[in-house]
Amino acid sequence: MSLSIHQLKPQSVFYYFEEISKIPHGSGNEKAISDYLVAFAKQHHLEVIQDAAMNIIIKKAASPGYENAPTVIIQGHMDMVCEKNKDTVHDFENDPLQLRIIDDMLYATNTTLGADNGIAIAYALAILAATDIPHPALEVLITTEEETGMGGAMAIDPSHLKGSILINIDSEEEGHLLVSCAGGVRTKHILPIVWEDIQENAVIYAIRIRGLKGGHSGMEIDKGRGNANKLMGRILNDLSTVCSFQIIDINGGSKMNAIPRECDVLFAVAPGTEEVLKAKVEEWGLLLKNELRTSDPDVFIQLDELNRAIQRVFSPDTTYKAIASLVLIPNGVQTMSMDIPGLVESSTNLGVVTTDQEVIRFESAIRSSVKSLKYKILNEAKMVAKILDCELKADSDYPEWSYNPDSKIRPLFQKVYEEKYGKEAKIIAIHAGVECGLFKEKMEHLDMISFGPNMYDVHTPNEHLSISSTERTWDYLLAVLKEIK
């Protein structure tokens, strides 16, 4: 007999997770869920602040006996990464997520699940709604646009918050306590398009890359997974050595902070090149199958001849610069930490390529736990742009979160974990941005930690959440709150 979500434990947590899943809440589309949180607070007679950025702060007084305990901020973000495969029919602006249970895992149906970071909201609302959970005074802080540059955290007015301890619930491995993270900056490499009329009798083809795993551009950047945009650059560069062609458009990836799984290029060639094209695409299909046999065994390349009325194509110079941009823009792991074995120290991800009527945009997410290396990668990107007569824009620059050797909340989390589970929690630093760096910059006094239940394949349509881990992590959180006095 299959379970329904209403039978899952903790019941209140999964109830609120399901409620959140009914409300579209992709980055930049958070007003509805922000308003839902305001309505929740009012329904439960709690103080609530909704700022201009749609961030939410909900305050709840301490339980009896905890009046003198330090105020705790429970923090997460309300936006989710909206990813689906191209053949999936789902409107992230309007459609609810379709939840499904397979064994111990909760999935959406062919879309991202939004457990990153809906689980933080579900935990927080379950605590706020409860009358039988002992806890210090609470300030629940739920931010917007975390996934697209941490705009909500940047907009937070620290005067609204009095807490001295911040518990971030935006981590994805049970038993791992996050104490440091990378900073980052987003870049847009912008290539102006010079168009020209398509040659008479030109044949239109599309090359499509499919079957890559993708994943989170911080957490999975060290897995060696193929980046569809970078792979397309290599294919086109090689193709240019055997035949002349002009690009019509390039589009790949959909989120800067997700390793792109798919990329399409539309181009025009002279008649009579079909055999050369087929041979070259077949060659690259075999080459990538070999290169990515461990990380992306299902990768494939598709060549399609299209019957379309195309009026214009990129000039040869724009075609060359587009290919050169794909090839030369920095991507992947740049340095590994010498202090923490296995930790990526700096990286960059060419996540999105889009073509419109005037320009091609190449959008990257740079990450580093060392500020100077972040700007080293940024400067390399600027030089590539200058060489190719492109504009380079940088925004969403956010700071790293440095390890605090004097933390009081970290040893408390460690103590409670060992008491509950008879083993030590693992202290980690990650190569991904969490909002703690920004909060530390705004509120230097904060003592912070991040944790969460087991999630898998985050930022992909295969994202799933462990049900049993969600329950254990809930029990762990309540045990920690009980100990803060």
**Tokens, residue 153:** 């955290």
Tell me what the mean pLDDT of segment 241-265 comes to.
Answer: 95
For residues 96 and 21, is the Cβ–Cβ distance under 8 A?
A: yes
79 is catalytic: yes
**What pLDDT does residue 322 have?**
98
> Distance between the two ends of the chain, CA-based, in angstroms?
44
List phi, psi (to 5°) of 367: -130, 145
Task: Read off the pLDDT band of 3 (50, 70, 90).
Answer: low
**Tokens, residue 177:** 């306590």
**What pLDDT does residue 456 have?**
96
Q: What is the largest CA-CA distance in the chain?
A: 83
User: pLDDT of 50-81, one tens digit each?
Assistant: 999 999 999 999 999 999 999 999 999 999 99
Q: Rounded to the nearest 5 degrees, what angle is found at the Cα of 305, between the Cα atoms of 302 and 310?
A: 125
Closest among 101, 88, 94, 91 to 17, alpha carbons compared? 101
**What pLDDT does residue 432 have?**
82
Separation of alpha carbons 279 and 464, rounded Å: 39
User: pLDDT of 311-345, one tens digit each?
Assistant: 999 999 999 999 999 999 999 999 998 877 888 99
pLDDT at 402 exceeding the cut of 70:
yes
DSSP string covering 255-274, please? Answer: -TTEE---EEEEEEE-TT-H
User: pLDDT of 360-378, one tens digit each?
Assistant: 999 999 999 889 999 999 9
pLDDT at 2 exceeding the cut of 60:
no
pLDDT at 1 exceeding the cut of 50:
no
**What pLDDT does residue 72 have?**
98
Polymer length in residues for the chain: 485
Strand bridging mode 105-107 / 464-466: antiparallel
Express the helix, strand and coil content of the chain in percent, nearest 5 each: 30, 30, 40
Task: Read off the pLDDT band of 104 (50, 70, 90).
Answer: very high
DSSP string covering 430-474, please? Answer: ESS--THHHHHHH-TT-EEEE----EESTTSTT-EEEHHHHHHHH
Separation of alpha carbons 121 and 449, rounded Å: 17
Tell me what the mean pLDDT of segment 339-358 comes to.
Answer: 94
Buried b (16+ CB within 10 A) or exposed e, 47-76: ebbbbebbbbbbbbebbeebeebbbbbbbb
Closest among 218, 256, 221, 223 to 401, alpha carbons compared? 218
Catalytic residue chosen out of the listed positions 18, 139, 146, 172: 146
pLDDT at 174 exceeding the cut of 60:
yes
- Give percent above pLDDT 90 in the chain: 89
Those residues whose C-beta lies under 8 Å from the C-beta of residue 149, and which sit 6 or more positions away, are 186, 395, 396, 398
pLDDT at 239 exceeding the cut of 90:
yes
Catalytic residue chosen out of the listed positions 18, 30, 79, 296: 79
Tell me what the mean pLDDT of segment 352-359 comes to.
Answer: 98
**What pLDDT does residue 357 have?**
96
- Give percent above pLDDT 70 in the chain: 99
Separation of alpha carbons 117 and 142, rounded Å: 10
